[in-house]
Amino acid sequence: MANQSFDDRDGMIWLDGKLVPWREANVHMLTHAMHYASAVFEGQRAYNGVIYALSEHSERLIRSAEILGFTIPYTRDQIDQACKDVLAASGMQDAYMRPIAWRGSEQMGVAAQSSTIHLGIACWAWGAYFGAEALAKGLKLEIAPWRRPAPYTAPTSSKAAGLYMICTLSKHHATDHGYDDALMLDWRGQVAEATGANVFFVKDGEIHTPTPDCFLDGITRRSVMRLAEKRGIKVIQRAIWPEEMEGFEQCFLTGSAAEVTPVGSVGPWTFEVGDITRQMMADYAALVRGALSNS
């Protein structure tokens, strides 16, 4: 399955209000989203047949679209139910899910206010995002050659498809040079996030994480912060400069795909896969599988 093309699979995809065979969930080449990135999406996981933080993801999808100037023609509850229907149709208990909304093909050009808004939802089996070995040893990250843009230059609070172009470029650059992923700085030169996950650091028993003022305040990020605080671990959100990484003891990434993944190094700086990192990994795994409360 890992090498199977995503356009040629068995199963069903929810598209504009109904489940359709996977291979028939197609759009025209002149779809506005393909040419001008007018699309927003979510990434979420199901565990034991339950989609973690489903309504939070659906609400963020709706907000992301509104930031890009379009309205998804479904309510949060309808999107929630559609996601459940897709998961049920898949027959899977554990799955990764991808809702996406986009402008259609009625208009071509920068302006597209009259385009039809579409919504699709797919799910598939997806294990550890970075592979099982990373969970034990920690990731090797490069400093990305691209930076997260300022919020006055891009809609940084939207989970918009176009914002991930520089993530792809940075990820490719990292893997081409023998790294697992890249740590992105922001336009000021401060630490921001990895290409698809938020970042945390540990020092003297406290957790430090960048303030999300030009990148997504991830749903997994917030969950892990609550879990840490329940453990009595202080979480500090602040501006972090790259040179500060020399003094941090541990580092880990969080995201719906990445879950909680330890980091062994960022550029020249190295970290241990320590007790706090392992505790957050264990607590998050228990949370999403229903064995731990996040209230």
Residues annotated catalytic, as ranges: 159
**CA 72 – CA 12 distance, rounded (Å):** 21
- Per the listing, tokens 């009259």 go with 114
Q: Are strands 235-238 and 269-270 parallel, antiparallel or unpaired?
A: unpaired
Q: Are 218 and 157 spatial neighbours (Cβ–Cβ below 8 Å)?
A: no
Phi then psi dihedrals of residue 190, to 5 deg: -85, 155
**CA 175 – CA 188 distance, rounded (Å):** 25
**CA 61 – CA 100 distance, rounded (Å):** 8
- Per the listing, tokens 């202080």 go with 234
Neighbour count for residue 267 (Cβ, 10 Å): 14
- Residue-wise DSSP of 8-19: S-SSEEEETTEE
Residues sharing a CB contact under 8 Å with residue 101, sequence separation 6 or more, in sequence order: 39, 40, 41, 61, 65, 70, 72, 117, 118, 119, 120
Distance of CA 258 to the CA centre of its chain: 8
- Return the biggest CA–CA distance within the chain: 57
